[in-house]
Each structure stands twice: as C-alpha cells, then as structure tokens.
C-alpha cells in the first residue's frame, strides 16, 4: 500500500558524536521507519553545533524523502537543533510538531519543553524528534502513518486533492480523499 521511501536518521548529541556513549535512539527509529516502508540510512552522529547540524541536514535531505533528527530540542544551553533546522528549511510544517508535542504531553507533561520544528528542504520532509529512545519513538509513531502520503505529495506526482480548491470533493469523502 505505501510506496517505499528513503529515510535518514540523524542523531544530535555531543556524547554520541564523541563516541563516549552508544546512540540508543537512532537504531530504534530506523527499525520503526522500516516498519512503515522506508529504506533507512543511519547517519553519523553530530555534536550540538548549529552549523554542523545544518550542514548534515542539507546533505541528508538531498538524498532522502524524510529526515528525522533526534536530540538537541530541549532547553539545555547547548540544545540548538531547532535553530539549525530552521536555518535550512524552505517551508515550515508546524502541524507535525504540534501533533507530536500535544500527544506526547498527554502522558508526559515535560514534553511541552520540546522545541522541535518540522518542514521541508526541497522535496524532503524534516522532523525534529526528542532525544530519549522512548520519547523519539513515540513521537514518530504519532505521525508515521501520514508519511507515505506526505512523500507522494512532496514528489509532486500527486495533486493533493485535500489542498486544491479546484479539485472538488467528487466522492463525497471527507476532505477530498482520493477516489
């Protein structure tokens, strides 16, 4: 049902980048994305440096349909993943971040501290996820079901009927679902 798409996982963590400690979140996100039909690249971890993160995002976006980051979205002094991401986004897609924060906060109030942003670089969708293995996996699961559709729309091969006022609601389906 869901066409294959190319995903990349970028871990942002000083400790993981130095090799001081193993990245526990990246492999978990890879397994989850594969379950949703993606072929997944696990990129080398990068430190919490704005320019380094931005450069990695640009490079990964050029070869991927979806890039997810994990880490660096909190309030710690070195957390700058959202700022680095915004530096390289063409268009923001705040609905993904709002949905992940809201649903995560329902069970874990500290999720409101997460500052992640989402959006597009060219035809690639970028999602900032929190750092903890369970928090990142949970957030990704909240939006994973719409990723295959998002990828199709971004590729331009699919007129997004749900966003074209001239497309009509031919089938009577909710929001112009495709007949």
Phi, psi of 73, rounded to the nearest 5 degrees: -100, 0
The residue among 1 and 175 lying less far from a copy of itself, judged by its C-beta, is 175
Contact positions with a copy of itself (CB under 8 A) in 52-81: 70-77, 79-80
DSSP state of 156: T
The residue among 2 and 120 lying less far from a copy of itself, judged by its C-beta, is 120
Least distance from C-beta 137 to a copy of itself, angstroms?
10
Least distance from C-beta 69 to a copy of itself, angstroms?
9
Residue 64 zone, left/alpha/beta (φ > 0; ψ -120 to 50; rest): beta
Least distance from C-beta 153 to a copy of itself, angstroms?
5
Range in contact with a copy of itself (rule: CB under 8 A) among 16-24, 30-38, 57-65: 16-24
Q: ∠ CA 173-171-166 to the nearest 5 degrees? A: 95
Contact positions with a copy of itself (CB under 8 A) in 115-154: 115, 120, 123, 125, 130-136, 138, 143, 145-146, 149-150, 153-154
Least distance from C-beta 63 to a copy of itself, angstroms?
18
Burial of 164 (0-12, 13-18, 19+ CB in 10 A): exposed
Mark 17-56 with x for binding to a copy of itself (rule: CB under 8 A) and - for no binding.
---xxxxxxx------------------x-----------
Least distance from C-beta 52 to a copy of itself, angstroms?
15
Helix (H, G, I), strand (E, B) or coil at 34: helix
Contact 121, 57 (CB under 8 A): yes
The residue among 34 and 164 lying less far from a copy of itself, judged by its C-beta, is 164
Residues 6+ apart with CB under 8 A from 51: 84
Residues 6+ apart with CB under 8 A from 134: none
Contact positions with a copy of itself (CB under 8 A) in 151-170: 153-154, 156, 158-169
């Amino acid at each position: 049902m869901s066409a294959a798409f190319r995903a990349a996982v970028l871990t942002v963590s000083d400790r993981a980048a130095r090799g001081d400690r193993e990245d526990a979140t990246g492999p978990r996100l890879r397994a989850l994305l594969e379950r949703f039909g993606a072929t997944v690249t696990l990129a080398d971890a990068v430190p919490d440096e704005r320019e380094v993160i931005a450069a990695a995002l640009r490079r990964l976006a050029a070869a991927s349909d979806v890039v997810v980051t994990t880490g660096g979205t909190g309030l710690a002094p070195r957390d700058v993943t959202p700022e680095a991401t915004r530096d390289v986004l063409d268009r923001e897609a705040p609905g993904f971040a709002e949905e992940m924060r809201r649903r995560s906060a329902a069970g874990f109030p500290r999720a409101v501290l997460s500052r992640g942003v989402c959006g597009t670089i060219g035809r690639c969708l970028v999602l900032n996820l929190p750092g903890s293995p369970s928090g990142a996996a949970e957030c990704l699961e909240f939006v994973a079901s719409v990723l295959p559709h998002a990828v199709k729309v971004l590729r331009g091969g699919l007129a997004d009927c749900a966003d074209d006022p001239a497309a009509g609601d031919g089938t009577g389906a909710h929001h112009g679902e495709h007949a």
